[in-house]
Structure 1
Amino acid sequence: MKMNKPNYKLIYSDIINEKYPSKKKQCSNFLNKDELTVLDVININRIIFGSTEVNAKENQKFKSYDQNTISRILTYQKENKFTNSQTAIEFKMSRNTLTSWKKKYSIK
């Protein structure tokens, strides 16, 4: 059984048009794409709603990453020569998550 993904492009377009029209220009690069990646969704969410400590901790429970996004995060870490701690801060995630991804996907 195949699960349908939410249409984030439509969801965020509606949110921006109805509640945050002033942020339309900042999000236009993302909304002009054919399909949004998980990282795109995270970035649009930051632009629209900002990031507060309370929201970040609460939202962290609901994050989910596909294999493409995991690969992009690990590549970003490698290209920028970041430690797990630096990468975890950048993407607001656990260092342990990065470590387990590296083990699972054999990236050193």
Structure 2
Amino acid sequence: MKNTPDYKKFFNDIINIKFPEKKEICSHLLAKSNLTVLDIIDLNELLFRNSSKENSVFNQKHRSYNESVIYQILEYQKKNRLNNSQLAGHFKLSRNTVTKWKNLFPV
């Protein structure tokens, strides 16, 4: 059994305590039975959109992506017809990371 955080409970607690006004905005994501990494990124963006630049930079340095998430991000690029720069900007990645992923994980 893999120990993973209960992100639904985590985000529900944050919404109830800090952001009750954003409950309805996030409800469609929290209604899912399983949250994907992309859902978690979306929830984080919805809740902490106005955080400071230095907080955003610090948090981005500590993100990690597994193989399935990388495939989802690359599928998102294909589905939305984004170039590497647009995808990198959307997910706050470097363009070099996107290029590396495309070479390592062909879609």
Give TM-score scaled by structure 1 length: 0.88
CA–CA separation in structure 2 for the residues paired with 1:81 and 1:31? 27
CA–CA separation in structure 1 for the residues paired with 2:96 and 2:2? 28
**Residue identity in the other structure for 2:102:** K
Identity %: 47
Q: CA deviation at 1:26?
A: 0.4
Q: Counterpart in 1 of 2:46?
A: 47
Alignment of structure 1 residues 1-108 onto 2, 5 Å:
3-51=2-50, 52-107=52-107
Q: What do residues 34-73 of structure 1 show as CA deviations (whole Å, max 9, x unaligned)?
A: 1111111111111111144222211111111222221121
**Residue identity in the other structure for 2:39:** D
Structure 2: 5+ residue stretches without partners = none
**Residue identity in the other structure for 2:62:** F
CA–CA separation in structure 2 for the residues paired with 1:89 and 1:75? 16
Q: Is the 8 A contact 1:38 1:66 kept in 2?
A: no
CA–CA separation in structure 2 for the residues paired with 1:66 and 1:27? 24
Give TM-score scaled by structure 2 length: 0.89
Structure 1: 5+ residue stretches without partners = none
CA–CA separation in structure 2 for the residues paired with 1:3 and 1:63? 19
**Residue identity in the other structure for 1:22:** E
Q: How many residues align?
A: 106
